[in-house]
Structure 1
Amino acid sequence: MPLSVVDLYRDVLPRTNCKDCGFPTCLAFASMVVSEKLPLKNCPHIDPETAARCQKELDAQHAAGKWTRRDMAEDALQWAREKAASMALTDLPERIGGRLHGDGPDRELHLPYFSEFIRIGAGGIRKENGEPLNRWEQVFVYNHMAQGGRTNPTGNWKAFQEIPNTVSKVKSMRAHVEAPLAERFGGKAETLGRAAMRLGGRDLTNESRAADAVWRFTPLPRVPVMLLFWDRADEFDAKVTLLFDETVTDHLDIESILFLSERLTQLLCEDGTG
């Protein structure tokens, strides 16, 4: 029969909280064994026969997905891929941009992506060099394929919190996008500029004068993103705000807007040197 966290703690583990397994309590260790597939033998105080017998049961319930922690990225990718499965590749250039290359099963859509392009076809979504995009990138691209309409950007910009239905995600935007960018580039506006240029960003600082630095990115042809950066000065910390064209929800759902913003942050922070 399946072994729950309580079963392991009550009937199998010594309940001494000795910490020899590397965890503070036997209950914490039991939780990791059940939900994260940690080997039961990592407890040095269970006799080998009992450990082997229980491990067989644990392996079976892990294989069945019982009580294991879900792989959220894989679940999101599977859902997004299924949504996009009915989209005809030949319809995508008119809807989301890009150009078709090749014929038959080898046909691909080459879609501009930041300063490069990605290849979308029967084999999935890949970079120019053939490597797959990471799973969260694939999620927002598949969602864009499924949702993206023919609406072109209007040039009217909105902060994330001004977009409907983003209340529950505003904290995530601040914590995972705006705060890391402000921390990384505070006092380093030139470094931000170099990183932005390598991502194909367009410097609009002199045109808008809305902030100390203003960069416009085009992650996807019909999904521009504006980055406003105020550098730290005196008692004020650096600040970053992302703006989105008012048509963004015609092309991406709220989760995908956040995923895209997080990827922009990662690319800038990874590329920003000095």
Structure 2
Amino acid sequence: MPWSVLDIYSKVLPRTNCRECGFSTCMAFASMVVSEGVPLEKCPHVAPEKLKSIKEDLKNQQEAGKWTRRDPAKDALKWAMTRAASMKIEDLPMRIGGRLIEVDGEKALEIPYFLDTLLILPRRIVKKGGGSLNRWEQVFIYNHMAQGGMREPTGKWKGLVELPNTVSKIKTMEGNVERPIAERFRGHGEDLVKAALAMGGSPLEKDDSGAEVAVIFRPLPRIPVMLMFWDEEGGEGFGAQAKLLFDETIVEHLDIESILFMSERIRQLLCGEGT
């Protein structure tokens, strides 16, 4: 059978972004396996019996000239939209928040997103005031719609390591999100506060954690995220650190991969890496 990027990603790989294959995400690795012939065995988590049959299929695809370059973000979005396809717009307010309105004769969900407002329509998601979301943003929003969670946040915060099935993603969170934030704002905690306020963050009073900056973001109504920042202490030899915390209900609203996508978007916005 022919194997697409989406097939390799969703049916073969562990989707943990452990980076043991040398690529930053499982989706990026799947894309290179299909489009560039990168050996599937570079992923140490594919069962040997599955690897043998798939390698033969991939070899035949390559020989038939069916290897094509693919866009990982496009494939991820297609997968997420498929997951959410059965969701009814009128059921979403109870599950993820927002309110129902009508847009050009269609039902739509109007929902806050950082400082923007989104319109979720049957076949697309747009910003109410104009502008577009990047594909990875759409991926975690569609996955939020499909995940099935309903609970309101409880206010009990947990690091990624405390959530189930995240051990292999800790390095990704540290390397792609937390460390870049710490490096960007080292010695400039006041700039972090300004950047956080500019994207709708709410600063918290200092507590026993000793964090110099603590901010809560609400990317979406049921998904609060806390950022804690400790600046470097030259005399003590401690470098700057940043940590993202999530409400304990996060896994009811987002799959682990989408938590990473959302976290990377927070880093991009804070660090001025993209609109």
Pairwise TM-score range, normalised by the shorter structure? 0.7 to 0.9
Instruction: Work out the number of aligned pairs and report it.
Output: 215
Deviation at 1:94, TM superposition (A): 0.7
Pick the aligned partner of 2:240 from 229, 238, 263. 238
Q: How far, CA to CA, are the matches of 2:208 and 2:102 in structure 1?
A: 42
Moved over 6 A (4+): none
- Tell me the residue number matched to 2:101: 101
5+ residue gaps, structure 2: 1-31, 37-60
Secondary structure class of the residue paired with 1:249: helix
| Letter of the structure 2 residue corresponding to residue 229 of structure 1 | F
Please state whether the residue corresponding to 2:272 is helix, strand or coil.
helix
For 1:148 and 1:79, the matched residues in 2 are separated by 16
| Number of the residue aligned with 1:177 | 177
**1:133 corresponds to:** 133
Measured in 2, the distance between the counterparts of 1:271 and 1:168 equals: 26
Residue 253 and residue 72 in structure 1: after superposition, are their counterparts in 2 closer, same or farther (change >3 A)?
Answer: same
Structure 2: distance between partners of 1:103 and 1:219:
23
Aligned to 2:221: 221
Residues 86-97 of structure 1: pairs in structure 2 closer than 5 A: 86-97=86-97
Counting only pairs closer than 5 Å after superposition, residues 1-274 of structure 1 correspond to structure 2 as 35=35, 66-102=66-102, 105-206=105-206, 210-234=210-234, 235-270=237-272
What are the superposed Cα offsets for residues 50-102 of structure 1, whole Å, 9 maximum, x if unpaired?
xxxxxxxxxxx99x982234321111100100111110000101110001111
Tell me if structure 2 keeps the 8 A contact 1:205–1:211.
no
Report the secondary structure of 2:225's partner residue: strand
Structure with larger Rg: 1
Write the letter of the residue equivalent to 1:79: W
* Closer, same or farther: CA 224–211 of 1 in aligned 2, 3 Å: same
Q: Distance in 1 between matches of 2:129 and 2:141?
A: 18
Say which SS state the counterpart of residue 171 (structure 1) adopts. helix
The amino acid across from 1:85 in the alignment is: A
- 8 Å contact from structure 2 (residues 229, 243) kept in 1: yes
Q: Give distance in 1, aligned partners of 2:273 and 2:136.
A: 19
1:28 matched residue in structure 2: none
Deviation per CA, 1:209-241: give whole Å up to 9, x if none: 541110011111011000010011212211000
User: Which whole-Å deviations, capped at 9, do the CAs of 1:20-64 have from their partners, x for residues lacking one?
Assistant: xxxxxxxxxxxx9x957xxxxxxxxxxxxxxxxxxxxxxxx99x9
Contact 1:99 1:110 in 2 (8 A): yes
CA RMSD in angstroms comes to 2.4
Aligned residues of 1:228 and 1:241 also touching (Cα < 8 A): yes
Question: Using a 3 Å threshold, how does the CA distance of structure 1 residues 112 and 210 change in structure 2: closer, same or farther?
Answer: farther
SS at match of 1:224: strand
Any gaps of 5 or more consecutive residues in structure 1? Answer: 1-31, 37-60
Aligned partners of 1:161 and 1:167 also within 8 Å: yes
Amino acid at match of 1:174: E
Checking the alignment, whether the CA contact within 8 Å between 1:153 and 1:222 is kept in structure 2 is yes
Q: Secondary structure in 2 aligned to 1:83? A: helix
What CA distance in whole angstroms lies between the structure 2 residues aligned with 1:88 and 1:136?
A: 22
1:111 to partner: Cα distance: 0.9
| Aligned residues of 2:119 and 2:127 also touching (Cα < 8 A) | yes
Aligned-pair CA distance for 1:122: 3.0
Structure 2 partner of 1:6: none
Question: CA, structure 1 residues 69+210, in 2 after alignment: closer, same or farther (shift >3 Å)?
Answer: farther
In the alignment, residue 168 of structure 2 is paired with which amino acid? Answer: S
In the alignment, the residues of structure 2 paired with residue 210 and residue 94 of structure 1 have an alpha-carbon distance, to the nearest angstrom, of: 37
